[in-house]
Structure 1
Amino acid sequence: MTATATRVLVLNSGSSSLKYQLLDMHDAARLAVGLVERIGEETSRLVHTPLATGGAKRETEGAMADHDAALKAVAAELAADGLGLDSPELAAIGHRVVHGGLRFTEPTVIDDAVLTEIERLVPVAPLHNPANITGIRTARALRPDLPQVAVFDTAFHTTMPEYAARYALDVATADAHRIRRYGFHGTSHAYVSRKTAALLGKDPSEVNVIVLHLGNGASASAVAGGRCVDTSMGLTPLEGLVMGTRSGDIDPAVTFHLKRVAGMSEDEVDELLNKKSGLIGLCGDNDMREIRRRIDEGDDRAKLAFDIYIHRLKKYLGAYTAVLGRVDAVAFTAGVGENAAPVREAAIAGLADMGMAVDADRNAVRSDEPRLISPEDSRVAVAVVPTDEELEIAQQTYALVSA
């Protein structure tokens, strides 16, 4: 890597989408951002914003049969802005990989052996790892000479103690099939917990934080001194909080009941719990803005969905307060956490005896900056900390290849 190579391209490959950002790690500036969606469908769509040149957002439509075609289209857009993948200033490509199991506890340069191990983890992440692998293969084919780095969603949670990570299952069976709690959204939890400590003017090692990553997917983590000690998602991203389309915590016997009594197949139960449950299953909407609008109009079904969502949040706040023993801060992040003031207010309401409170005026402020929304004299700081998973991936990637 040359001294002038300070750029990192971050790729987040989904089953039919490709999100990307190009950053210059000299000053963490975003040079370009974009999204390709509907890959493999009749008409794909690419949205590209060249931030480095201050140019207008560009949208193009056309058939992109696979991720190879999509990434080549992205490369063409970047080249049009003088930011091509052949630039000597490009230091590495960082890939979001959802599941790294127990082997991958930190960012890792991808070689054939690493890619094989990521493939071995497909059974525990069938919805995510295959798409991540496709993106890696495509990028390696385009730039085989460039370091490609995998940054794992699960890595931050590998510090969980064994008593938090294990399920109460027969040990031999669990070990044989790698059944344990891995956790997800790790790049977000790492970034937000560190930023929360900075907001308090402290080193991460001095702060205990409960992070609430609330988007369409949602997860909570208990972070003690910069290390995750518990998190709500488990073997898969299904466990834990109520989410947009996922049920979160549920009695496992419900699955047996649905198969025996309703005659549902394994695939049908899987689809029910992952895609037809959560908020959308409860009220038909998974957009919190729409749910709040319906509540304001007196919609009882939307109100019940919201109350169930908040009740689960409170349970995890209480549980992680007990796990940590001392809580210095609660941090809300991601789409709902950053933008839905009523969610933050309701989640913290009634927790004054736990030292948690929200100031109504502070909570109503909208900002892209980390900020406190608790009263000045609150024992526990309550914060809104915008997450930046792409920057976290870029930072970890660049630190590895420039070491």
Structure 2
Amino acid sequence: MKVLVINAGSSSLKFRLFDMPGEQVLCSGIAERIGEAEASIHITRSVNGKDQTTEQQHALPDHAAAMQQVVSLLCHPEQGVIQSPEEVALVGHRVVHGGESFSSATIVTPAVREKIKELFPFAPLHNPINLRCLEVAADFFPAAKQVAVFDTAFHHELPPEAARYAIPHAYYEQDKIRAYGFHGISHKYVTEQARDFLDLPQAKMISLHLGNGCSAAAVEGARSLDTSMGFSPVSGLVMGTRSGDIDPSVLLHLMTHHGYSTAYVDQLLNKRSGLQGLTGRHDMRDIDKAAEEGDGEAQFARRLYAYRIKRYIGSYIAVLNGLDALLFTAGVGEHDSSMRALVCDGLSHLGIEIDPVLNGLPATGIRAIHSGARPVKILVIPTNEELEIARQCIAIPA
């Protein structure tokens, strides 16, 4: 069974074609800078047992155009990996916000489309794009079932004490204002990997998804008990361009004393804060380089970034009443050994201590980097949202 996974962001579209249930990757790639003049598509195919990656420049004014180019590449008469769109049985889509309506992967019907549209105000940068990709894919793959896999679903059953805000109850009843959590597809995947690796079905884990967007999750067994992102993806940890936690009175002060509009404040929190606001750079690789060269702002940004993570680690150990494993995943979590060391520094009293030699080894799949003398396992786990989406797609009853 061929399953195509579409993982669309605000200006990108990742895709991966699987042969399931064997989980063989037939083709993968990403369309980047959608809507910009420098738009391109990277595609990786297996040729004679070896992966070959090519980059092609394309005019990609929107995600519909990107989808069309992706389908053309997949079905290319000479370099394609399928003969026709009819070969694809399922198309799985990452949808950022499922609200309280969706707790698992769902076959897309007209009613599901309408519900995703109703949730546009909750994820205005993502849900409209996700729905558009669903609609375009349905046209390109008419024989395939379209499946929505929601980033909020893993956190759907958060305990009420973790999900609710201390504001008048009417705002929850009328507007459904609560913490929803995000990065759920990634947190679900890596915590399953950790439970299998440790052979500990009810493991108490803190999962750290550290990329351009960052979130922490407290997970016991297969259940999310708390997570750092809340009503929106702005809250929680310091991120590439998002502020993370901030006293709401700061925003009221800026609006009152500087006359900022809500739209301006929204841009400030989402696009101009976080590492970008602290250093003028949003990529941790650039900040690491600047810090090594003695840039004081970059050095401070790294300390603040790590401090916020430590604060969540401490609080989540309390939530879990103990800790079996600390998990690092996503771009920074998987590849930045110095940040992992900075996060874990000074936590030996909590049973958390990194082995510097293991931590410095090149990344090759899931691996343990903790000191053997400490009780808490520290694991680096490459996330694979596309594979998790494909697995959830084929798990839906026929």
TM-score normalised by the chain length of structure 1 = 0.94
* 295, 298, 302: which one aligns with 1:302: 298
Instruction: Note if 1:258 corresponds to 2:246.
Output: no
Shift of 1:376: 1.5
Q: Distance in 2 between matches of 1:62 and 1:293?
A: 32
Instruction: Note if 1:392 corresponds to 2:388.
Output: yes
Q: Which residue of 1 aligns with 2:181?
A: 183
Matches within 5 A, 1:57-136: 57-80=53-76, 81-84=79-82, 86=84, 88-136=86-134
Aligned AA (1:355): G
Q: Which residue of 2 aligns with 1:3?
A: none
Matches within 5 A, 1:257-276: 257-276=253-272
Shift of 1:42: 4.3
Amino-acid identity (%): 46
Aligned partners of 2:152 and 2:180 also within 8 Å: yes
Q: Distance in 2 between matches of 1:138 and 1:315?
A: 43
Task: Output one character per residue of 1:257-277: Cα deviation in whole Å (capped at 9) or x when no partner.
Answer: 111111111111111111111
Q: Distance in 1 between matches of 2:270 and 2:312?
A: 20
Q: Distance in 2 between matches of 1:131 and 1:18?
A: 10
Aligned partners of 1:75 and 1:85 also within 8 Å: no
Q: Distance in 1 between matches of 2:120 and 2:316?
A: 30
Q: Which residue of 2 aligns with 1:359?
A: 355
Aligned partners of 1:33 and 1:51 also within 8 Å: no
* 30, 33, 55: which one aligns with 1:35: 30
Aligned AA (1:45): S
The alignment yields a C-alpha RMSD, in angstroms, of 1.5
Shift of 1:183: 0.3
Q: Distance in 2 between matches of 1:165 and 1:358?
A: 32
Aligned AA (1:13): A
Q: Distance in 2 between matches of 1:182 and 1:22?
A: 29
Aligned partners of 1:93 and 1:149 also within 8 Å: yes
Matches within 5 A, 1:192-341: 192-203=190-201, 206-341=202-337
Q: Distance in 1 between matches of 2:330 and 2:205?
A: 16
Q: Distance in 2 between matches of 1:289 and 1:73?
A: 31
Cα 1:42–1:307 shift into 2, 3 Å: closer
Q: Which residue of 2 aligns with 1:153?
A: 151
Count of residues in Structure 1 that have an aligned counterpart in Structure 2? 395
Q: Distance in 2 between matches of 1:128 and 1:87?
A: 26
Shift of 1:74: 1.1
Aligned partners of 1:32 and 1:52 also within 8 Å: no
Cα 1:297–1:38 shift into 2, 3 Å: closer
Task: Output one character per residue of 1:211-233: Cα deviation in whole Å (capped at 9) or x when no partner.
Answer: 00000100000001210000000
Shift of 1:82: 4.4
Aligned AA (1:96): R
Say which SS state the counterpart of residue 259 (structure 1) adopts: helix
Task: Output one character per residue of 1:305-341: Cα deviation in whole Å (capped at 9) or x when no partner.
Answer: 1111111011000000000002100000000000111
* 32, 36, 45: which one aligns with 2:40: 45
Aligned AA (2:73): E
Q: Distance in 1 between matches of 2:54 and 2:288?
A: 33
Cα 1:111–1:308 shift into 2, 3 Å: same
What 5-or-longer segments of structure 1 have no aligned partner? 1-5
Q: Which residue of 2 aligns with 1:13?
A: 8
Q: Distance in 1 between matches of 2:287 and 2:374?
A: 30
Q: Distance in 2 between matches of 1:56 and 1:89?
A: 23
Shift of 1:58: 2.5
TM-score normalised by the chain length of structure 2 = 0.96
Q: Distance in 2 between matches of 1:189 and 1:162?
A: 20
Aligned AA (2:20): M
Q: Distance in 1 between matches of 2:75 and 2:62?
A: 20
Q: Distance in 2 between matches of 1:7 and 1:71?
A: 17
Moved more, 234-243 or 134-143: 134-143
Moved more, 376-385 or 106-115: 376-385
Q: Distance in 2 between matches of 1:129 and 1:85?
A: 31
Aligned AA (1:23): F
Task: Output one character per residue of 1:124-176: Cα deviation in whole Å (capped at 9) or x when no partner.
Answer: 11111011011001101222331000000000001211111001110012321
Aligned partners of 1:330 and 1:382 also within 8 Å: yes
